Structure formats: structure tokens, C-alpha cells
Amino acid sequence: MSRWIPLLFLLCVLPPLRALDLASLHQDQDVAGFSCQALYEDGRGQVMGARLLAPNGFVLDLLTIESVPQAFWWIRTAPTDSRGEPHACEHLLLGKGRRGRAVAALEDMRLATSTAYTDQLHTCYQFHTTAGLSTFLELFEAKLMALLHPDFLDEEIRREVCHYDVAEDDAGQLSLVEKGTVYTEMVSSFEKPWYWGSEAMAKLVYGPEHPLYHNAGGDPRAMWDMEPQDLWDFHRNSHFPANMGAIVSLPSSANLDSTLTALSAVLQRCDLPAPRVVPAGIGAEPLAAPRPAETGTRVRAPYPSPRPEDPATLSLQWPADLQLTPLDDQLLQLFMQAFAGGETSTLYDKLVNSETRVLDLGVQSVWGSRERRPGHSIAIGLSGLRPAGLDDAAVDQVLAVIQSSLQELAACAPGDTLLRSFNQRLAAIAQSERRQLREYLNTPPMFGHRGGNAGAWLNLLEQCEHDPGFRRSLVRADLARALDGLLAQSGNPWTTALARWRLLERAPYVVISAPSPVLQQEVLQDRAQRRGDFIANLMQRLGLNDEQLALAAYRDEFARRTAELEAASADDPLPGFLADPPMGMDEELDYSWEPPLFTARFPSMESATMGVALDLRQWPIDDIALLPLLTESLCDVGLVLGDTLDFAQMQQAMRREILGLSCRVEHS
């Protein structure tokens, strides 16, 4: 018989035995060859990091967080077309060629874990190791050398991006098969409904030549046009020290001077022979001005689907031409969450909730956002719509609901019930985000974990680049105080805010994305046509009139190139395993204990976790079918002093009072 045994853990938060002396640094101070540009403060106002600039322009954001050594590289890789060069570099640099293969082998032998991703304007690589600081520095150099000085072959580029292989069926007939890791990944995205709507909207908002329109991951229709030289040119123009940086997180046991001296030496050894000068910073790359379509333009962007009854999406987006202060940008972000962000928002009640909606188009979800990129474009999206009848008249009805809701809010007198309710909901969202941010700063960055949220560090530090002063708050303390002051004023802040954001004075761009069996067939026909063209060119190149003979010759040619690649890697040296591997996962952390009390020192920890276990063995067997509803009932609704809280009230209460709530049923 299993039993639950309650355990009580007492956590004593103590200062570290030795803190990195970052707080003593001043503006432009030289530190091991780096120039100190800013200090980062945590939620208590204590220095927990610094921005350092190397002579070659490389940006180093140093953080002190109690975890294993870890790093996150970012490279500014704004796309110049939709062939997917940024994404291809991500796949190739740390895994192909002699240097890339050496990095992959070294990672296994050094107890390291890594991952990478490509977003619209950056390509990011991250890793951590449990084998200590010296091993971390060894890996840091090996990876940086591979990023800046790749030596993979053109054939490896073709194999990784997109290429044709030959398959043989049971009857001995040969046919072409599309392959390529990058291509296969993007075909999966290409088949999603959101892909087509997003592409169409980006073209309207930014124009067809803008980096925010081009597909950084690669459009499957364009990827076949990429030649190896295209990738080499892109790498040369983007992968250099002044166009990149790293976020490095170290435990307090690391020595600041020696670690920075070692990193400075690594940068010198990995540097390129001809340094280039560009603006330093995550978001410092200047982007061309948008060349948008006429305001209010509407387009249909069908997505391929064999089922015409599949759900449709409706996207609305305003021009990217706003000039906002950091405070106004934060206010807009919170406003969009309260107005259109999910199940507790204004538009959810108006367009989704079956009990309160004023228009029934089958909408299943609603979202709202604003782009942080230049121009702060505002977007609202509806998904799950019935495709039948989704015409201009239906769009006009949706716009009327949105406009009337905005006008109603802007016209509220101070103290109005609607205004007070909206502001309370927005304030709860703001409070929840601040609590989450404080918790995030107290949590290991998880660099190298595929399921982690490392990209949030990139976004946070990019926001801090716009802050004035030398000491910069990672919890955005000044913005929080200014926002609280704004919401505490007696007037209606949305009257002037909506005017600044120009939401009421001009029509948005509109994209309707509905299923199209016709487009599904066109996509298949395009792929068949591409294969046919390849075979025709192959037959012409080989001087053959028989397709099967040409495919057989191509298969032999492909096999020879494969053998050449295997021969090139056959003599790769294999690194040895660690001479003194750690016996635990966190030996460098500042732990001490003396039974029966366990003590762990986390200098900036500001929250605690509490768990409650309920014995469900007495649950009536006749009600066992209701057990799956228990978790949602406990987390999504509630009682306070006998008063029932519905879903929206429960969400608002949790945002105000706690960091998070979860519930699960365990079987034993």
C-alpha cells in the first residue's frame, strides 16, 4: 500500500561566500580588455550582471546566477531573401565540416548540452556544461571558432539545405525524393495555416523587400534557388564579432578577473583578420524603412488544405509607423493583452464567449500584440472562424465591434465601471508579469535546454539597451513605477493613448486565410513540376533520353559524393573523455548543509514554492469519471469567503496574488 508522507523543507537564504565584484565597476572602465558599458540590477537593486564591450565590437553580457556555467550566442542575421541562409547557417556551423564535427564530438565528451534556433532577425546558439568553468571555456572557444571560421564543404551545404535523392520501389522503378534537414523542417511550417496569412500580412505592413517580410527560416519554394556561394556570402556579411555577442551566466564561485581574462583571450584567438565596425547591440542593426501597402488594404491568403470546411483565420494589423517611448510601448503591450489577449479580454467576451458575444462567426480564440520591432505595429488575430461567409461584410462587422469597443473605452468618464474594470484587469496582468520576471531572474537561464526559455534573456537585454543611465534594472523598475503612476491618475488614460496609437483614426490591413483544396493541388503540382524540371536538366546534362537511366546515373553520382563525405570525416580526431568528471550535476554551486537542516545560498531568490498533496483514495468509485475535471476545477475556478469566482475572476486573482498555480493527478 502506498502512502503520502508530507515533508517540510526549510530554505535559508544567505549571502554568497564570495560575490563577483561587479558593483564596483564604472562607465567605460577597462576590465580584462573589455569596456564596461552598463550594470544590470535585480529586483532588490543589487548588481547581478554587466554589459561589456570587446575592442572588436563583440558584446558580452555577463550574469551571475547560481547554476552551471552556460552561454547564449546571438548573431544579427536579418534575411536578405527567403532562401533561408540564416536557418541554414544554424544547422551547418556547429555540426558540419571538420570544425563543426569536432565541436559536436567535444560536446559529448565534456558533458555539455546545446541547442540553437533562428528567429526573424537573429540566429542563436546556446549551451551549458556540468563539468566546470575550465571545460566551459574550452567549449566556448571551440564553438566560437566554428561559428566564425567554418570549413564545411559545398556538398554538405546542399545535403543539409535541400537536395534530391533517389528511391526505388518494389518494382524497381526509380523516382526522386526531396530531402534536406532545413527543407523538411520548413515544409512542415509551410503546410500550416498561419504560414500563409503571416507572409501576406508582412508583405502589406513592411513591403516585399523588407527583412521583416523575408522568411529567415527559408521558404520551401525559394530554398531550391540557394547555391553554396549564397550561403558563404551571407555568412561573411553577418558572422563577425562586431555583429554578434554572448550572454554568459556564471555561478558566484567563478573568479571575475580570471574568467574575463580567459574570455578576452578566446576572442583574440578567434578574431577575424580584418575587423569590421558596425553599431554594437542586440537591436542595434538599422533596418530599412517599411514600404507598406495602402492603409486598409484587404487580401485573401488561402492556405493549402484538402478540406474546405477547415477553420479560417482573420488577421488585422495597423501600420508600423509609431514612435513610442519605452513607457508607451509597455503600456501598449499591456493594453493589447487586456483588450484582445485571450480568455479574459474584452474581445473574447465580444467575439468568442457564447454567453456574451455580439457576433457569431465561429471564432474560437482571439489574440492581440504589438511588435517590438521598429514602428510598433499593432495586431489583432481571430482563429477558428467558419470559412463559409467570411467575406468583406463579415470583416466590416468584426471591425465595427473592435472600433465600438475602443471608442467606448476611450469615452469612459473617470470612475466609470467599465474603465475601472478594464484598468483592474490590466493592472493584474502587469503585476503578474513583474512577478514572473523577478522569478525568471532567480532561475537558471537554462541555456542549452531545448524546452527552456532562453530567448527571453535576449528580449530583456535588448529592451535594456534603450534604457538611460549606467545602472539598468532588469525588472524594469522605473517603467513599473511610471506605469503605476499613470494608472493611479484620476482621469482616463486611454483617451489620449488610443489617439497616440492611432487605432481609431485609420483602418488596419486585413488578411483572410481560409482553406483551399485548389491551392493544395497547386502546391503538389509545383513540387511535381520542380522534380520534372530537375530530371529534364539531368537528362540533358548526361546526354540521356531515358529517365530511368538518368536517375540510375544520378544515384551512382550521389553515392560517390556520399563516399567522399564519409572519407573526409573518417580521420576526424576524437577527443578524450574528461580526466576528472564531476560526480554530481552542480558541484560548483555554493551549497552547504548540516543535517537535519539543508541550506542553499541563492542571493536573489524572492519567491517560494508550496505544494499540497490530497489523498484521493477515498474518492467514490462511482464518480471516477469526474476525476479528470478535478485539476481544472481547482485551478480555473474558486471560492473566496463563500463567494464563487468564475474563470475570469480566478485568473485575475492569481495574477494579483501568486506567481502560478498548477494541479495534477498522480497514480501509484
Pairing of strands 70-76, 591-594: unpaired
CB-CB contact of 573 with 563 (8 Å): no
Nearest residue to 103 via CA among 54, 56, 51, 141: 141
314-328 confidence digits (pLDDT tens): 999 999 999 999 999
Q: What is the pLDDT of residue 420?
A: 94
Block residue for cell numbers 564604472: 26
Give yes or no for residue 523 having a pLDDT over 90. yes
| Beta-bridge partners for 112 | 129
Residues composing the chain:
668
Question: Which range (16-25, 390-399, 539-548) has the least confidence?
Answer: 16-25
Instruction: Give CA–CA dist 539/60, Å, rounded.
Output: 53
Q: What are 371-423's pLDDT values in tens digits?
A: 887 899 999 999 999 999 999 999 999 999 999 999 999 999 998 999 999 99
Using CA of residue 226, residue 163, residue 564, residue 98, what is the dihedral sign?
positive
Across the range 196-217, mean pLDDT stands at 96
Q: Are 196 and 299 in contact (CB under 8 A)?
A: no
Predicted pLDDT at 13: 36
pLDDT of the residue at 605: 59
Residue 17 has a pLDDT of 35
Q: What is the DSSP letter of 599?
A: E
Residue from 190, 196, 212 nearest 512 by CA: 196
Tally of CB atoms within 10 A around 308: 13
pLDDT at residue 253 in the model: 86
Type and span of the H or E element at 165: strand 163-168
| pLDDT band at residue 4 using 50, 70 and 90 as cut-offs | very low
Residue 270 to residue 241: CA distance in whole angstroms: 9
Is the confidence at residue 615, as pLDDT, over 80?
Answer: no
Omega of the bond prior to 273 within 30 degrees of 0, cis? Answer: no
- Phi, psi (deg, nearest 5) at residue 246: -145, 145
Asked whether residue 58 carries a pLDDT value surpassing 60, the answer given is: yes
**Is the CB of residue 77 less than 8 Å from the CB of residue 635?**
no
Cell, residue 405: 469597443
Rounded to an integer, what distance in angstroms lies between the CA atom of residue 627 and that of residue 276?
63
* Per-residue model confidence as pLDDT tens digits over 456-484: 999 999 999 999 999 999 999 999 999 99
What is the spatial distance between Cα 615 and Cα 632, in angstroms, rounded to a whole number? Answer: 18
Cell numbers that stand for 332 in this block? 501598449
Half-sphere exposure of residue 320, counting CA atoms within 13 Å on the CB side? 27
Q: pLDDT grade, residue 252 (50/70/90)?
A: confident
Return mean pLDDT, the chain: 89
Query: For 270-298, what is each residue's pLDDT tens digit?
Result: 999 877 889 999 998 889 999 999 999 99
Among the residue ranges 151-155, 327-331, 571-575, the one predicted with the least confidence is 571-575
pLDDT tens for each residue of 498-512: 999 999 999 999 999
Residues 6+ apart with CB under 8 A from 352: 343, 363, 364, 365, 366
The three grid cell numbers given for residue 256, joined into one nine-digit string = 571575475
Does the structure show a pLDDT above 60 at 600?
no
Cα–Cα distance measured from residue 384 to residue 348, given in angstroms and rounded to the nearest whole number: 13
Q: What is the pLDDT at residue 2?
A: 40
Q: Can you list the domains of the chain with their CATH numbers?
A: 10-286+443-469+547-607 (3.30.830.10), 298-412+492-515 (3.30.830.10), 609-668 (no CATH)
The Cα–Cα gap between 122 and 117 comes to 9
Q: Is the pLDDT of residue 655 over 50?
A: yes
